[in-house]
């Protein structure tokens, strides 16, 4: 079983739609979680950290449920520029190596 699992998608949504991504993790010792964004053939870029209390950054909201070992990302009012692959990431182990999910592809169309 993969340590971080995501639905690969693709999610095809119109501009202005709300879309939600889910992610589960298997290592209960994982300390911190993040969502990264990766554009085609580019490096991953940190989108936001994920906290149990939930956190919001503009149109993006992330949530962590430690009891269920479940992480979510909600994107409201989707823009064409949101089209990318969204990577669910856990910080694991004593040396802070990042454990990446395989990513969920989002395509926003006019």
Give me the residues that bind another protein (CB under 8 A), please. 4, 41-46, 87, 93, 95-103
Shortest distance, CB of residue 22 to another protein, whole angstroms?
15
Whichever of 54 and 93 has its CB closer to another protein, that residue is 93
- Decide whether 18 or 26 has the Cβ nearer to another protein: 26
| Calpha distance 48→22 (Å, rounded) | 15
Cis link prior to 5 (omega < 30° from 0)? no
Query: How far from 45 is each of 1, 14, 66, 72, CA to CA, in Å?
Result: 26, 24, 24, 17
Given the complex with another protein, which of 19 and 90 has the nearer CB atom? 90
């Amino acid at each position: 079983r993969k340590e971080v699992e995501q639905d690969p998608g693709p999610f095809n949504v119109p501009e202005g739609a709300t879309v939600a991504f889910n992610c589960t993790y298997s290592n209960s010792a994982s300390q911190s979680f993040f969502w990264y964004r990766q554009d085609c053939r580019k490096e991953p870029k940190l989108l936001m950290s994920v906290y149990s209390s939930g956190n919001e950054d503009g149109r993006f909201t992330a949530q962590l449920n430690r009891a269920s070992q479940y992480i979510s990302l909600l994107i409201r009012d989707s823009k064409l520029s949101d089209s990318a692959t969204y990577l669910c990431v856990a910080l694991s182990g004593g040396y802070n190596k990042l454990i990446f999910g395989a990513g969920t592809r989002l395509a926003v169309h006019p």
